[in-house]
């Protein structure tokens, strides 16, 4: 079976070819957004992007924007065919592909919510999560992949919960009563869970594959917007723009 990036490339190739985009040279500008540009000025100061280890990288394609969180950010220019030819060997290449995917599908009207929410909207997002889960996943054991503080704040106490993260500053810390575990515990935490709540950043940083086809998954965030559309994945991102 092809890996997830090859599957995505095949599916978006058909869309880009159908629209005649592959035969044209299209400039795609990707840049790392400042914290203020990315999420505005939220009251809380514990979001991962505020720590500076990751940036929200944005591609602009014609009239549309698409984003991805990454720790390897930088400008890129090329045709969509050039993007398809990237080997997906590092986080920068994956982020270029993901942002390009999001921006083009937004331009084509295939997706919405490809731009991160701002200011106090992450609080609204976190508060909406438990009601969203209540009907279909009542009592489920949840493994959250990626530290998203407002989601964790609302899930803690409402569901049996484990949280995995890659940031050494978070690992071992107790957040809202839950101890943050390292990625070394992924296999066990996935086996334990009834439901995986997974940051779309896993698509850009190459850690998504071990999570697929194991348990029901809800992805969250703007990074995974285009891939969720192409693959039929469930995505929770109520306040994205």
For residues 108 and 105, give the distance between their C-alpha atoms in angstroms, rounded to a whole number.
5
User: Per DSSP, what are the bridge partners of residue 196?
Assistant: 143, 217
> Given this model, what pLDDT does residue 135 score?
84
Domains (ranges, CATH) in the chain? 4-107 (no CATH), 121-236 (3.40.50.11590)
pLDDT value for 116: 86
pLDDT confidence of residue 72: 87
Write down the pTM of the prediction. 0.88
Of the candidates 80, 53, 82, 85, which has an alpha carbon nearest to the alpha carbon of residue 69? 53
Q: Which two tokens stand for residue 80?
A: 């969509």
**Which residues does residue 145 pair with via DSSP β-bridges, in sequence order?**
164, 198
Residues forming a β-bridge with 178? 175
Profile the chain (241 residues) by mean pLDDT over runs of 10 residues.
87 95 61 54 46 72 89 86 95 94 95 88 92 93 95 95 94 96 97 98 95 96 97 96 90
Upper half-sphere CA count for residue 126 (Cβ side, 13 Å):
17
Q: Return the number of other C-beta atoms located less than 10 Å from residue 232's C-beta.
A: 6
HEC profile of 71-121: CCCCCCCCCHHHHHHCCCCCHHHHHHHHHHHHHHHHHCCCCCCCCCCCCCH
């Amino acid at each position: 079976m092809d890996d997830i990036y090859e599957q995505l490339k095949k599916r978006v190739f058909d869309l880009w070819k159908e629209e005649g985009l592959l035969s044209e040279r299209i400039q795609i500008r990707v840049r790392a957004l400042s914290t203020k540009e990315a999420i505005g000025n939220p009251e809380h100061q514990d979001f991962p992007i505020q720590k500076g280890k990751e940036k929200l990288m944005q591609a602009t394609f014609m009239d549309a924007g698409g984003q991805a969180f990454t720790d390897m950010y930088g400008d890129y220019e090329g045709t969509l065919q050039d993007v398809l030819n990237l080997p997906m060997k590092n986080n920068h290449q994956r982020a270029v592909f993901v942002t390009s995917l999001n921006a083009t599908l937004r331009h084509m009207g295939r997706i919405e919510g490809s731009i991160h929410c701002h200011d106090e909207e992450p609080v609204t997002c976190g508060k909406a999560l438990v009601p969203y889960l209540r009907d279909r996943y009542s009592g489920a054991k949840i493994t959250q992949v990626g530290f998203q503080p407002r989601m964790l704040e609302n899930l803690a106490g409402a569901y049996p919960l484990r949280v995995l993260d890659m940031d050494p500053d978070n690992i071992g810390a107790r957040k809202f009563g839950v101890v943050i575990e390292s990625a070394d515990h992924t296999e066990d935490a996935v086996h334990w869970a009834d439901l995986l709540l997974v940051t779309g950043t896993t698509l850009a940083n190459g850690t998504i594959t071990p999570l697929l086809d194991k348990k029901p998954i809800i992805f969250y965030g703007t990074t995974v917007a285009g891939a969720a559309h192409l693959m039929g994945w469930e995505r929770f991102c109520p306040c994205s723009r």
